Amino acid sequence: MADIDTSAMLADWAKVAPQAAPPAATPLMHKATNVMSNWAARAAGTGLATTALLPWRIDPRSWPQIWLELCQMQDAVWQRQCRLQDSWLQGWLDWANEFRQARGANTVSKLVEQEFDLVAQWHELVSGQVTDVVSLLENLEINYAYWVNEKSR
């Protein structure tokens, strides 16, 4: 068998293969960078605004109201957390109940679908809970930032 001229093959290939483009940022990376930048800037701005509420910088007569509102904010977050936990628990109970049930399946395809449905429901519960936690954290962050900006005016 004759030797294959690999160098000629590579030369031909190079003529038709596109130039390797630099890897483009994926839309997800771009979005993640954008929202994290927003978060960082907001955190910095909120931190600065919070210094305006330090005890030695504000009228002492406003301390009780400020402390009261901070406690109320904490309580509001706690109550929302409790409501979320109640709904998560209910979700898991419903899933467990479904898992235990012996539903009829007359075909193999239906049986397979039922099994995958359980997996999909599990994923949905987990992703829902993660989203709930992130939403609550973001809600607290925005509410606090807005509150402290209004107070420091």
Partner 1 sequence: MITAENATRLGQYQVDPGKSSISGLSSGAFMTVQLHLAYSSRFCGAGIVAGGPYRCAESFRAAAFLAEDAFEQSAINLCLNPLLPQTAPNPEHLAQLANATAQAGEIDPIVNLAGHRIYIFTGSRDDVVAPATVNCTRRFYELLGVDRKQIAWHDNIPAGHALVTDNPEDSPLATNQPPWLNNGGFMQSHAILNHIHDNLQPPADRATGRLLRFDQTEFFDGDPRACMSEYGFVYVPSAVENGTTARVHIALHGCKQGYDYVNFVYGRPDNANQPPYGNRYVTTTGYNTMADSNNIIVLYPQVRGRDDDFAQNPDGCWDWWGYSSPDPGRPDYYSRNAIQIKAIYSMLRRLGG
- In the complex, the residues that contact partner 1 under the rule CB under 8 A are 34-35, 37-38, 41-42, 45, 69, 72-73, 76-77, 80, 138-140, 142-143, 145-147, 149-150
* Min separation Cβ 77 and partner 1, Å: 7
Q: Name the minimum Å distance from CB 51 to partner 1.
A: 16
Q: Which two tokens stand for residue 124?
A: 């949905």
- State the nearest-atom distance from the C-beta of 141 to partner 1, in Å: 8
**3-class DSSP state for residue 6?**
helix
Specify burial of residue 8 (Cβ count, 10 A radius: 0-12, 13-18, 19+).
exposed
Closer to partner 1 at the Cβ: 9 or 130?
A: 130
Smallest gap from Cβ 149 to partner 1, in A, equals: 6
- The whole-angstrom separation of Cα 81 and Cα 132 is 9
Quote the distance between the C-alpha of residue 89 and its chain's center: 20
- In sequence order, the 6+-apart residues with CB closer than 8 A to the CB of 98 are 118, 121
**Tokens standing for 77?**
């977050």
Residue 9 or 35: the one with the smaller Cβ distance to partner 1 is 35
Q: How far is the CB of 106 from partner 1 (least distance, A)?
A: 23
Selection from 114, 81, 90, 86 nearest residue 100 by Cα = 114
Q: Which is nearer to partner 1, 78 or 92 (CB)?
A: 78
Quick one: 12 or 72, whose CB is closer to partner 1? 72
Please say which residue, 5 or 150, places its beta carbon nearer to partner 1: 150
Kindly tell me the number of DSSP H helices and DSSP E strands found in the chain: 4, 0
